[in-house]
Amino acid sequence: MKVLHTSDWHLGRSLYGQKRYAEFGQFLDWLSATIVSEQVDILLVAGDIFDTSTPSNRAQSLYYQFLCQVSASPCRHIIVIAGNHDSPTFLDAPKALLRSLNVHVIGAATENIDEEVLLLEDAQGRAELLVCAVPYLRDRDIRQVQAGESLADKDHNLLEGIREHYARVTALAAAKRQDLGLNIPIIAMGHLFTAGGKTIDGDGVRELYVGSLAHVHGSIFPPCIDYVALGHLHVPQKIGGAEHIRYSGSPVAMGFGEATQQKSVCLIEFSAEANNLGTNNLAANNLATTGAVKPDVTLLNVPVFQPLRQVSGNWASIACELRSLVDSNESVWLEVIYQGDEIVSDLRERLETLTEGSELLILRIQNTRLIERVLNASDTDQSLEDLDVNDVFARCLAAHDVPEDQQADLLQTYQQTLSAIHHDDTQAE
């Protein structure tokens, strides 16, 4: 039996205003083809299918077209759980219809916890796998607010709530396996932040609980679980060195900080066939506390559909690297970070001249020297993170000695421009 684990698609996400639907579509086409070529039996999607709780029509179209493609393939089951970016209500709405395509959707923690334990059958109708399909657990699902609760109490109660939820779900799965008397694997799914998990600056990974840094430990997953398919962190990684507890990571670089990261999905293969042990057999009883069989895990590298590149340094090094990229005639999206000592006030104009007529698209420019000048225009100790877009624009006007009687009109025009851009983006969705 082959299982494929992926997560964090973030369909609909843009990068500094640049739409990425073509890129997401190419990934889903690749994933669909990979499922066929690798003869995958079961697909697990561990949350953050969409980037927002109100996905655009185009993002929804990509999602449903993919589900239709895969449901028509030899893949027998698709399991989808919600992440913190997803709307549980939106994902759950068509679940009855999708169930007819063997697509199992769990958008929120269920009142009847039995609904989070899925018994999957093979083509002959025999039980082959138990899946603890636990979605992102929201604060209200696992914790009751108590009077006089401190932040430490909140963190403790959150962690205990998550631990208790997994303990109940996995105990139920282990009991079902014991009742069946079959040596079938148990897989747990989750969308959470584990202690020690790696992140990258600018990857957009959010803390999951407001006012809390509660990160769960890998020990919350009992030994009866044969594989843990996690979502939320974008870096592919094992947890605590355990081969069977993994984040698949995002399949597409979500920001320039991930530009050099090799993206992948996890192919999990259980080589031992389900073994009928009999419900009175001692070995069957042991399945309540121990795993059935540990799988082989292989990382399948995801192709880069839209190259991203960070170019940084002084003007000479930036210009040299850009000329090389222009000569390569490759379509690359760029973030340029100027770090030279000289103040270059016409950096954008210089970059546009260098890249004119090429396949390069500069999405973001950071002029650190100009930023320092803008921040130094005030005597405060504020950093760029302390300012909003209007503050930065006002500082720029002051740094360039724009007369005060013109600043108010320019700021209003700037705000109108931002509003128009945001409106156009919404209409384009």
CA distance 399 to 392: 10
- Please tell me the least confidently modeled range out of 193-202, 245-254, 263-272, 291-300: 193-202
CA distance 221 to 228: 8
Burial class of residue 7 in the structure, from the number of CB atoms within 10 Å of its CB (0-12 exposed, 13-18 middle, 19+ buried): buried
In this prediction, residue 325 carries a pLDDT of: 94
- pLDDT reading at 380 higher than 60: no
How are the residues of the chain apportioned to helix, strand and coil, as percentages rounded to the nearest 5?
40, 20, 40
Confidence of residue 203 (pLDDT cuts 50, 70, 90): low
Place of tokens 């957009």: 204
What pTM was computed for the model?
0.81
- pLDDT reading at 24 higher than 90: yes
Percent of the chain with pLDDT over 90: 58
Confidence of residue 385 (pLDDT cuts 50, 70, 90): low
Q: pLDDT tens, 346-366?
A: 889 999 999 999 999 999 998
In this prediction, residue 351 carries a pLDDT of: 93
**Mean pLDDT taken over the chain:** 85
Confidence of residue 160 (pLDDT cuts 50, 70, 90): confident
Confidence of residue 209 (pLDDT cuts 50, 70, 90): very low
- Same domain, yes or no: 286 and 317: no
CA distance 125 to 122: 5
Q: Which of 282, 301, 320 is the last residue of a domain?
A: 301
- Same domain, yes or no: 279 and 152: yes
- Is the torsion defined by CA of 61, 64, 70, 72 positive or negative? negative
Query: Domain of 165?
Result: 2-301
Query: Domain with 324 in it: what CATH number?
Result: 3.30.160.720
Percent of the chain with pLDDT over 70: 82
> CB–CB of 155/210 below 8 Å?
no
- Same domain, yes or no: 297 and 212: yes
Q: Which of 301, 319, 334 is the last residue of a domain?
A: 301
CA distance 305 to 134: 31
- pLDDT reading at 303 higher than 80: yes
- Same domain, yes or no: 156 and 19: yes
More confident residue, 240 or 60: 60
Q: pLDDT tens, 137-154?
A: 988 777 665 666 666 777
Q: What is the mean pLDDT of residues 57-79?
A: 96
CA distance 110 to 100: 20
Confidence of residue 395 (pLDDT cuts 50, 70, 90): confident
Angle at 215 between CA 48 and CA 234, to 5 degrees: 35
- pLDDT reading at 319 higher than 70: yes
- Please tell me the least confidently modeled range out of 35-44, 54-63, 186-195, 372-381: 372-381
- pLDDT reading at 280 higher than 90: no
Domain count, the chain: 2
CA distance 394 to 377: 10
- Same domain, yes or no: 365 and 266: no
3-state secondary structure at position 77 = strand
> CB–CB of 231/8 below 8 Å?
yes
- Same domain, yes or no: 222 and 340: no
Confidence of residue 406 (pLDDT cuts 50, 70, 90): confident
- pLDDT reading at 278 higher than 70: no
Q: Which of 301, 319, 348 is the last residue of a domain?
A: 301
- Same domain, yes or no: 159 and 137: yes
Segment holding 363, helix H or strand E: strand 361-367
